[in-house]
Structure 1
Amino acid sequence: MITWFSRLSLLWKILLSTSVAVTALFGFTGEIVLQHITRTMSDSLNEEVRASLEAYTSYWNSRAERLSAVSRLLSTLPAVRAAFSTGDRATIQDTAGEMWSKISDAMAIFLVTDPAGKVIASLGGVTPLSQKNMDVVRLAESRFPQQSSGFFLQDGELYHISVTPVYVDSTEGQALLNVLVAGYHVDALVAQRLQEATGGSSEFLFLTPGRVIASTLNPRATNTVVTSLAQGRPADRVNDGVVEYAHLDAPLLDIMGNQVGQLSILRSFEAARQRLSSLYKDIVALWLVAVSAGFAMTYLLARRIVEPVEQLDRAAAEVARQNYAIEVEVRSEDEMGRLARTFNNMCASIRQAREDLIQQERISTIGRLSASIVHDLRNPLAAIYGGAEMLVDRDLPQGHVKRLAANIYHASRRIQDLLQDLLDVSRAKSRAPEICRLREVASAACDALTTAAAAQNVSLHLAIPPEIELPLERSRMERAFLNLISNSLEAMPEGGEVRISAAVEDGSVLVEVADNGPGIAPEIRSKLFQPFVSAGKRNGLGLGLALSRQTVVDHGGEMWVDSQAGEGARFCFRLPGASVAAALIR
């Protein structure tokens, strides 16, 4: 099956194949590069999230350490201890407040409680913690005299605190005098400061069960992220409906190591996606430029490669038109150059062989034609020679003389007709047709061969209706019948039967000349009507059938043979003409 690709020129096949290969290779390579870059960016974001967690841990630990250091310092100051020993709330408030204002952060919370957790003094601003008992003090008591720090959840608010016991010397050893509780309230401002302290590229969410404590995202994004986290999405990715983030959680532990909430650190993929999109556009642009440049270069190179092939193709077409004088210019010494040189040598060999063949055919044709003419002239010349010899050497009766003169006359007419036929064939001329009765034409041929047929014990049967008439060149058509009957006689030297019949079919005449001889050999059946083709004949060189077929063709008809080996031969030919039907009507 011929596909559309096979119908393309060689140049376009090279261009399309190269373009497809370059496109596929570039696309495959680009896909691998993009996947690698995407993985690298994703890993980089995850690393940045982990780095943000480490920065948060470092930042938060430094705040906690600063509070713990301040608390320890206050707990060791003599003035503070002395004020705490008085047990007077105002004295404790004033003394602790004075020292706190000098060494602490204004954003911090500072409480003084008794060992049971009851708040004695509150510094660093008004806080709901100052109105309540601090249960966390009782929880931290198990770790006294060591400091304890952690997150503390109270009435839906989250704090990061440090609990520091204050001891005094007594007769029974050190006694717990008061407890210092210092810390920070975790709110949006704290989250904002944490974001700024870690570079500002990460988002932070402080979450407790069922509540968002603080977030650096807008409320819509915060609600979407919290919902996504609650639905159990993959741990490393989260989406706020617009932006996708790399996600990492860190637990928020109280002073006893129990989790009271979690910190979610988010790193946006948006910047990475923009970089990836820009890179994708650059790769596509580079691909277009590379494909265009590759296409142009391939076209130029393929054009130089294909041009010699096109020249050979045109030259081969000229050779197919029998123009063997064509030559191809040899432009290189590579395979194409050697092929062009071989093609030129082949054409030169064909020209030489053709000239030699024409010369041999001319010589052979002259010899065969001469032999054929000699053969065809031998019988009438023999009749003329024999009759003339009898007239010269013998004194014959008047009737016998007339019969010999008539034979000489008919023989000379046959020679004249034969020579005229050969001349007409050589000059491609034909005589004007005349209305003839087909039976009379065939009968004349049979009469000329009656003696030869009787000598071979061959019977001739003429079965042509006498009323069939059509325009014919009488002498040529008679010669055609004569050749066909002669061939049958030569094929049956031991006797047989020849039947000549005709019938009208659709305004034309179908003529058959059949015998019951040995038939035609299969090896010559396909070329039977070619000149000088014969088999099993004692005389003649095979011009009879060729001339007979040409006669039928010149009359607008056709001739063919129907024969099987051992079953006789049947030559058929059809002659058209409207006068056939008119003759039947008359």
Structure 2
Amino acid sequence: MRRFSLVWKISLSTAAALLLLLIVAGHFVQEQAEATLVRNLDAELENSFKAYESLWSARTEMLRSISLVLSTMSDVRAAFQTNDRATIQDTADEMWKRISLFEALFFVTDGKGDIVAGAGGRNFTRNLQVVRDALPRFPAQSTGFAMQDGRLFEFVVTPVYVQTDGAMELLKVLVTGFPVEDGVVKDLKAQTGGSDFVFLEGTRPVATTLSTENTARIAVQYKRGKGLTHLDLGDREYAVLGTPLRNLAGTQGGDLLIVHNFDAIRRDIDSLRVKLGLTWLVATLAGLCITVFLARRALKPIEELDQAAARITEQKYEARVTEGDDDELGRLARTFNAMCRSIQDAREELIQHEQIATIGRLSSSIVHDLRNPLASIYGGAEMMIDGELNPVQMRRIAGNIYRSSRVIKDMLQQLVDVSRGRTQSPEVCRLSELVEAAVDTQISNADNQGVEIRVRIEAGLEVSVEAGRVERVFTNLIGNAIEAMHDGGIIEISAEAQAEGVLVRVDDNGPGIPLVVRQRLFQPFVTTKRKGMGLGLSICRTIVEAHGGRIWADARPSGGTIFRFTLRVARPEEEPTLAE
């Protein structure tokens, strides 16, 4: 996964938090907006209901007033007292034409509801049930809704009484009303603000401003007595406010439903969602850009610290950062600069100490390596001066002096090469010849100590090494073994080819090395000799490891020490070079 920078981590985290906050806030706003719109819709239904009551009551009150006026007119009473149908009909037509203000109907019936005369263009059956329904309330005027000949009407029933012999006698009954039809409810919708109206007789719609399908579905789902309810028809949702329609007997004969769909609310909510989505997008992008800008400015010192720390890892200790203000980052920058100065000073001091230590180690190594050949030269020269030697002895001592001086010459040449940056390349050598050259430098010391040196190496075994340095390994190991065997002994040098190289063994039957010393044997300045410097085996390890091998020491079960080390075997394509 791609590693994001600290700036982008902070920016993306902030943008994610901002987006989450906007989503929560947007959801809350949407819920509140939807609730507010629904409340507004409910309030609109309540207002529509109040407007309906006002309009309908005004119309009903007009009918009541007209009926009362007619019932008190003397010519109307006189016509009623004649009991002549034609006279009553003529009177009814004349009076209704003068006072009728809207499409309505007017009937004159007897006390049983039989129609005597009528006006208003409606042809009903000869009997009106509404008169019998209102009869228990006589002589009071009654109003209510009723079905007549399959249609819904609101009727006003006004009894007309006459005084006879000190008692009130029912003369006739005036019945006025108006139909509840689709045209009437459409006018009602236009006058009340756009809400739809549905008049029900039971569950059967008798007048509506909605489609037949939606009206039927609403009528089926509507539960009487629930007040303001919400009906979900699947494809559309409606808010419904129901009110009972009272008949002339005072009981509920039907229902008026004031209906308003949620289409406008849904459109408003969808529009709000789009606006909120755009707001989220713009706010998130703007917040991300602002956060990136501010984060880059705030984290610029940290970025500078990161770059300076990277230069420090490249050992460029002169790196520094701008210290800036006196805040946390400014204090961190000053601390970092102080740390860099301390590291730079400490490194320069360390380099000086290492140079001195290197000179010391080099001097110690030179002294260590020169001791044996110088001792051989010194001893041979002393014998030649003080002793009376025959020609054979003289020749042998001269040979030892020559070989020791050659060793010194080679060592000095190696030092010159190293100081000039030149290193000796590995060459293919016969291992037996390297060992013989090392044995020759130590043979006189071995003879003096009574030590026998045995070499058991195949003449054809070849290795790819720096001959001079590997010869020093054998010289040090043989010299150490000779010095440890004061009472004489045997040193045996052998080698065997293995899959990954050559394993060399240098065995002696001397006193051995204590375990405590053997565990630290190849560290500098570790020795068991009273006058030893403890550098020989450390030099051996350095040379062997430089050739890709390793060196270790074990104790012999019968006494003495076994040194083992590995060397790289020569490849067949490499040309052999004779070691001098």
Global fold match (TM > 0.5): yes
Task: Find the counterpart in structure 2 of residue 304 from structure 1.
Answer: 297
- Of 251, 257, 260, the match for 1:264: 257
- Of 60, 70, 74, the match for 1:74: 70
User: Does structure 2 conserve the Cα–Cα contact (< 8 Å) formed by 1:488 and 1:517?
Assistant: no
Which segment drifts farther, 91-100 or 388-397? 388-397
Task: Find the counterpart in structure 2 of residue 9 from structure 1.
Answer: 5
**Residue aligned with 1:559, SS:** coil
Task: Find the counterpart in structure 2 of residue 183 from structure 1.
Answer: 177
Task: Find the counterpart in structure 2 of residue 141 from structure 1.
Answer: 135
Question: How many angstroms apart in 2 are the aligned matches of 1:231 and 1:457?
Answer: 132
Question: How many angstroms apart in 2 are the aligned matches of 1:257 and 1:264?
Answer: 19
**Residue aligned with 2:239, SS:** strand
Shift in Å, 1:221:
3.5
User: Does structure 2 conserve the Cα–Cα contact (< 8 Å) formed by 1:236 and 1:248?
Assistant: yes
1:529-553 Cα deviation digits (max 9, x unpaired): xxx7343454235365446644664
**Residue aligned with 1:511, SS:** strand
- Of 29, 35, 54, the match for 2:25: 29
User: Does structure 2 conserve the Cα–Cα contact (< 8 Å) formed by 1:327 and 1:344?
Assistant: yes
- Of 149, 166, 169, the match for 2:163: 169
| 1:393-432 paired onto structure 2 within 5 Å | 393-431=386-424
Query: What letter corresponds to residue 18 of structure 1 in structure 2?
Result: T
Question: How many angstroms apart in 1 are the aligned matches of 2:156 and 2:455?
Answer: 142
Question: How many angstroms apart in 1 are the aligned matches of 2:507 and 2:22?
Answer: 77
Question: How many angstroms apart in 2 are the aligned matches of 1:207 and 1:164?
Answer: 26
Query: What letter corresponds to residue 154 of structure 1 in structure 2?
Result: Q
Question: How many angstroms apart in 2 are the aligned matches of 1:566 and 1:105?
Answer: 140
User: Does structure 2 conserve the Cα–Cα contact (< 8 Å) formed by 1:508 and 1:578?
Assistant: no
Shift in Å, 1:119:
0.5
Shift in Å, 1:459:
7.9
Find out whether 1:150 has 2:141 as its counterpart.
no
Task: Find the counterpart in structure 1 of residue 126 from structure 2.
Answer: 132
Shift in Å, 1:430:
4.3
Question: How many angstroms apart in 1 are the aligned matches of 2:552 and 2:114?
Answer: 135
- Of 51, 56, 63, the match for 1:60: 56
User: Does structure 2 conserve the Cα–Cα contact (< 8 Å) formed by 1:224 and 1:241?
Assistant: no
Find out whether 1:533 has 2:496 as its counterpart.
no
User: Does structure 2 conserve the Cα–Cα contact (< 8 Å) formed by 1:518 and 1:566?
Assistant: no
1:169–1:14 distance in 2 versus 1, CA, 3 Å: same
1:508–1:536 distance in 2 versus 1, CA, 3 Å: closer
1:203–1:433 distance in 2 versus 1, CA, 3 Å: closer
- Of 206, 218, 241, the match for 2:199: 206
Shift in Å, 1:273:
2.1
Query: What letter corresponds to residue 186 of structure 2 in structure 1?
Result: Q
Task: Find the counterpart in structure 1 of residue 106 from structure 2.
Answer: 110
| 1:393-472 paired onto structure 2 within 5 Å | 393-431=386-424, 436-446=429-439, 448-449=441-442, 462-470=455-463, 472=465
Shift in Å, 1:504:
2.5
Question: How many angstroms apart in 1 are the aligned matches of 2:71 and 2:224?
Answer: 47
Question: How many angstroms apart in 1 are the aligned matches of 2:485 and 2:150?
Answer: 132
Task: Find the counterpart in structure 2 of residue 560 from structure 1.
Answer: 550
User: Does structure 2 conserve the Cα–Cα contact (< 8 Å) formed by 1:509 and 1:580?
Assistant: no
Question: How many angstroms apart in 1 are the aligned matches of 2:161 and 2:289?
Answer: 90
Shift in Å, 1:226:
3.7
Task: Find the counterpart in structure 2 of residue 572 from structure 1.
Answer: 565
| 1:247-396 paired onto structure 2 within 5 Å | 247-396=240-389
User: Does structure 2 conserve the Cα–Cα contact (< 8 Å) formed by 1:507 and 1:580?
Assistant: no
Identical-residue share of aligned pairs (%): 42
Structure 1 unaligned spans of 5+: none
1:288–1:298 distance in 2 versus 1, CA, 3 Å: same
Question: How many angstroms apart in 1 are the aligned matches of 2:554 and 2:79?
Answer: 145
Question: How many angstroms apart in 2 are the aligned matches of 1:53 and 1:110?
Answer: 28
Question: How many angstroms apart in 2 are the aligned matches of 1:344 and 1:494?
Answer: 65
Question: How many angstroms apart in 1 are the aligned matches of 2:489 and 2:9?
Answer: 68
Which segment drifts farther, 277-286 or 559-568? 559-568
Question: How many angstroms apart in 2 are the aligned matches of 1:52 and 1:28?
Answer: 36
Shift in Å, 1:266:
0.8
Task: Find the counterpart in structure 1 of residue 46 from structure 2.
Answer: 50
Which segment drifts farther, 379-388 or 84-93? 379-388
Question: How many angstroms apart in 2 are the aligned matches of 1:44 and 1:145?
Answer: 45
Which segment drifts farther, 392-401 or 66-75? 392-401
Shift in Å, 1:304:
1.2
**Residue aligned with 2:324, SS:** coil
**Residue aligned with 1:43, SS:** helix
Q: How many residues align?
A: 568
Query: What letter corresponds to residue 97 of structure 2 in structure 1?
Result: S
**Residue aligned with 1:81, SS:** helix
Task: Find the counterpart in structure 2 of residue 120 from structure 1.
Answer: 116
1:474–1:493 distance in 2 versus 1, CA, 3 Å: same
1:106-130 Cα deviation digits (max 9, x unpaired): 31111111011101111122232xx
User: Does structure 2 conserve the Cα–Cα contact (< 8 Å) formed by 1:147 and 1:162?
Assistant: yes
Query: What letter corresponds to residue 11 of structure 2 in structure 1?
Result: L
TM-score (norm 1): 0.86
Query: What letter corresponds to residue 30 of structure 1 in structure 2?
Result: G
**Residue aligned with 1:381, SS:** helix
- Of 199, 207, 215, the match for 2:208: 215
Task: Find the counterpart in structure 1 of residue 154 from structure 2.
Answer: 160
1:413-470 Cα deviation digits (max 9, x unpaired): 2222222233334444345766532123224434545676799998866443333134
Question: How many angstroms apart in 1 are the aligned matches of 2:229 and 2:484?
Answer: 104
Find out whether 1:88 has 2:89 as its counterpart.
no
Shift in Å, 1:171:
0.5
Which segment drifts farther, 380-389 or 70-79? 380-389
1:402–1:493 distance in 2 versus 1, CA, 3 Å: closer
Shift in Å, 1:240:
6.0
Query: What letter corresponds to residue 127 of structure 2 in structure 1?
Result: N
Query: What letter corresponds to residue 71 of structure 2 in structure 1?
Result: S
Task: Find the counterpart in structure 1 of residue 496 from structure 2.
Answer: 503
1:442–1:146 distance in 2 versus 1, CA, 3 Å: same
Which segment drifts farther, 514-523 or 266-275? 514-523
**Residue aligned with 2:549, SS:** strand
Question: How many angstroms apart in 1 are the aligned matches of 2:388 and 2:287?
Answer: 107
1:383–1:46 distance in 2 versus 1, CA, 3 Å: same
Shift in Å, 1:347:
1.5
1:105-155 Cα deviation digits (max 9, x unpaired): 331111111011101111122232xx3311221221111111221110123
Question: How many angstroms apart in 2 are the aligned matches of 1:564 and 1:248?
Answer: 107
1:579–1:278 distance in 2 versus 1, CA, 3 Å: closer
User: Does structure 1 conserve the Cα–Cα contact (< 8 Å) formed by 2:502 and 2:568?
Assistant: yes
Which segment drifts farther, 203-212 or 14-23? 203-212
